[in-house]
């Protein structure tokens, strides 16, 4: 079967660094996405990894290890506005338009 | 100049009614999607159309029928609404390509079935 696991909830302090992990077991792999979803809003694209390693984009970085079926999203210099749900999604190997989604990690940032 | 727009934003209706949700994208994308997000926040793909052709059709009750009049529009019609249909329905679109295919989401339609 296909499965994506993320922690349900995390909390961190403003200005800190937080790492949100995602592990996946899928029948194939064609890339991994991270999306951010604020409460009551639409998911928005954050990052995409298809090769092993770290992709850095401002305060956000995403890492992938295909051999371990593992990714993480790293958020630096946390701000209150980073309080949101972070969704990990893996592209179906046979159809790169189909995403298999995790349940999301709800991140709360405290002052 | 909203990229992916869906209407209505809120929909409250009685069990047994039939309702439609409309979606339009002005990004020039080839593929559009309908997702259901339940109270546990799980995002589940329902349908996807590429240039008006159905390409993803997940296990969804046949009370749900998508319709794509052109590649910029994808509507969702739901017959005989049930309590369990209450959820947020998201429309999304993406541009065809190899590798990274980013999906852009609409603001969602919050459906409450009473």
Facing residue for B31 by CB, picked from A30, A31, A97 = A97
Tokens of B89: 């329905």
Give the integer Cα–Cα distance in Å for A54 and B74: 36
Q: List the end-to-end C-alpha distance of chain B, in Å, as a whole number.
A: 34
Helices (H), chain A: none
User: Residue B110's pLDDT band (boundaries 50, 70, 90)?
Assistant: very high
Distance between alpha carbon B82 and the CA centroid of its chain, in Å?
A: 17
Q: pLDDT tens track of chain A, all 111 residues?
A: 678 999 999 999 999 999 999 999 987 888 999 999 999 999 999 999 999 999 999 999 999 999 999 999 999 999 999 999 999 999 887 777 789 999 999 999 999
First vs last Cα of chain A: how many Å apart? 41
Q: Which residues of A touch B90 (CB under 8 A)?
A: 42-43
Q: pLDDT band at residue B1, thresholds of 50, 70 and 90?
A: low
Task: Report the residue count for chain B.
Answer: 114
- When scoring A3, A51, A97 by the number of chain B Cβ atoms within 10 A, the one with the most, hence best to mutate, is A97
Q: What is the pLDDT of residues B2-55, one digit of tens each?
A: 799 999 999 999 999 999 999 999 999 999 999 999 988 889 999 999 988 888
What lies within 8 Å, CB to CB, of A66 at 6+ separation is: A29, A51, A52
Residues of B in contact with A91 (CB under 8 A): 101
Residues 6+ apart with CB under 8 A from A105: A6, A7, A8, A9, A10, A20, A85, A86, A87, A88
The DSSP line for B3-32 is SEEEE-SEEEE-TT--EEEEEEE-S--SEE
How many angstroms separate the CA atoms of A35 and A8, rounded? 15
In the numeric block, which tokens belong to residue A47?
């990052």
State the maximum Cα–Cα separation within chain A, in Å, rounded to a whole number: 44
Distance CA B64, CA B77 (A): 6
Q: Which chain B residues are closer than 8 Å to A98 by Cβ?
A: 45, 48, 56
């Amino acid at each position: 079967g296909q499965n994506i696991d993320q922690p349900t909830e995390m909390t961190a302090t403003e200005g800190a660094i937080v790492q949100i992990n995602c592990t996946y077991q899928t029948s194939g792999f064609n890339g991994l996405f991270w999306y951010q979803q604020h409460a009551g809003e639409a998911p928005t694209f954050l990052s995409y990894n298809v090769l092993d390693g770290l992709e850095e984009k401002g305060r956000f970085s995403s890492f992938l290890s295909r051999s371990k079926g593992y990714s993480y999203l790293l958020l630096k210099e946390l701000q209150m506005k980073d309080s949101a749900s972070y969704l990990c999604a893996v592209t179906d190997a046979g159809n790169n338009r189909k995403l298999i989604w995790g349940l999301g990690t709800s991140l709360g940032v405290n002052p | 100049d909203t990229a992916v727009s869906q209407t209505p934003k809120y929909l409250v209706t009685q069990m047994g009614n039939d309702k439609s949700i409309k979606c339009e994208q002005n990004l020039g994308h080839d593929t559009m999607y309908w997702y259901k997000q339940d109270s546990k926040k799980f995002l589940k793909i329902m349908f996807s159309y590429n240039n008006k052709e159905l390409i993803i059709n997940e296990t969804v009750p046949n009370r749900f029928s998508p319709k794509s009049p052109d590649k910029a529009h994808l509507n969702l019609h739901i017959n005989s609404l049930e309590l369990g249909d209450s959820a947020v329905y998201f429309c999304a679109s993406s541009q065809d390509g190899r590798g990274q295919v980013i999906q852009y989401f609409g603001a969602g339609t919050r459906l409450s079935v009473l």
